[in-house]
Amino acid sequence: MNDNDTKRISRLTAILTQLQTKRLLTATELADRFSVSVRTIYRDIRTLEQAGVPVITEEGKGYTLMEGYRVPPVMFTEAQANALITAEQLVLNNKDTSFIKDYKEAIDKIKAVLKYSVKDRVNLLSERLQFRQNSNNEKTSNYLADLQFALTNFCLAEIKYTNETQEDTNRVVEPFALYSTQENWLLIAFCRLRKGYRAFRLDRIKQLSILNESFNPHKITLEKYFEICREKYFPNP
C-alpha cells in the first residue's frame, strides 16, 4: 500500500466520521476540509456507497447518512452527551493547541454516534455555552499531546527551557505527571540535569523532542510527590 492509498483510506474514514457528526455536508465543504477537489469527494462518496455505507444524496443540499447507521456501535444518553459538550467548551479555552486538536477530533467521533434528535440538542447547547476562562483565547503551548505520549510510554524528552529569569537550559527529563492551573499546563518530571523532580511550565518550553530512549517507571505516586513538596516548602504546619 503506497502513501496515496493510505491517505485515501484515512480520508474515507474521516469523511464517514464527518457524515455521522453533522446532518448534512456538501461536497464543497468536504473538499475544503480535506484540501482535495470536489471531484475527488464525488469519487470518495461513491467508494463509501460501494462499501455498503448508506450515504443519502439530497439534491441541492448535500450528503447525509441513513438514520440509524452508526459506527462504532456506541450510544450516549442526552445527559452524557451534554456533559461531553460542556467539557468541549472548557477544552476550547485551553491554552495548549495540541490538546484542543486531539479533543476536537475525539468529540467529532462521539458526535458521530448520536441520534439526530440528540445531536441537534447538543449542538444547540454548544452554541449557548460560554466560559470566561482564557477570554482572550491565548494559545501558549503545543506540547501537551507529545508529553502525554512520552509519559504513558516512558520515553525520555529533551527540552529547551526558559526559566523565570529568562535563562535558557537544555534538559533531558523523565515525564512523570501533568497538571493544569487556571493559567498554564505544567509538566512534572525527573530532570537529569538537576537530578531531581522539577515542574516545568509548558509555555516556557521552547523546543521539545521525544527521544527513542526509555526510562524505568517512577516508583512514587503523584500524591507522594505532592506530599514531598509540602514537606519541603511548608515544613511547619
Tens-digit pLDDT profile for the chain (237 aa)?
Answer: 455 656 777 788 888 888 877 778 899 989 998 889 999 999 999 888 888 888 888 888 889 888 776 655 456 677 777 777 777 777 777 778 887 888 788 778 777 777 777 778 877 777 776 656 665 667 778 888 899 999 999 999 999 999 989 999 999 999 999 988 767 788 999 999 999 999 999 999 999 999 999 999 988 888 888 888 888 777 655
Same domain, 166 and 213: yes
Same domain, 154 and 225: yes
Same domain, 164 and 208: yes
d(CA 227, CA 234): 10
Q: Which domain holds residue 56?
A: 3-65
Angle between helices 116-127 and 78-92 (to 10 degrees): 40
Q: Are 187 and 202 contacting, i.e. CB atoms less than 8 angstroms apart?
A: yes
Same domain, 154 and 210: yes
Same domain, 54 and 90: no
Write out the DSSP string of 130-174: ---TTTT----B--HHHHHHHHHHTEEEEEEEE-TT--EEEEEEE
Same domain, 153 and 219: yes
What total of structural domains would you count in the chain?
Answer: 3
